[in-house]
Amino acid sequence: MMRTYERRNLVAQHDRGGFTLLEILIVLAIIGVIAAMAVPRLLGQQRSANVKISKQAIHSLEQNLDIYATGNNGEYPQGGQEALAVLLEMGADGSEPLYDKVPADAWNEALFYEYPSTKTTSNRPAIWSAGQNRQNENGSGDDINNWDDQTQ
């Protein structure tokens, strides 16, 4: 009779030692549901942050173009994206270049530039980022530009 009691006791102690497969699967399912809810929100915040960074890069380029224009009789560099090369050169008065490389957006793609602009009615350059899809859509689509929300 003693052996039966000892066996039951050993079996009972063994059963209490770990988690069952069902318990582990339930915990994994809960973690999966939480991750499914959190990941899209985090990705949305990343996109929003990249848009803000790109808008800031555009604004910074606008300010540096204004500095350039101030020293050049109010004239902005004429042409397309290649016209930004003047911002990389030393000024005629020996001043330091405004940039050491062509300004880029949050996705590390060069900003686009056009002056005179066919995209805006103001007498200012058009500047835009290709956006998240990295396809130049001339300021439309997911491109981020300086003329849609211009308050000048």
User: pLDDT tens digit string along 97-115?
Assistant: 888 888 899 999 999 999 9
CA distances from 17 to 9, 20, 35, 41 (A): 13, 10, 29, 39
Is the per-residue pLDDT at 151 higher than 50?
A: no
Confirm whether pTM is higher than 0.95: no
* Sign of torsion over alpha carbons 128, 129, 130, 132: negative
Per-residue pLDDT band for 152 (boundaries 50, 70, 90) equals very low
How much of the chain exceeds pLDDT 90, in percent?
Answer: 41
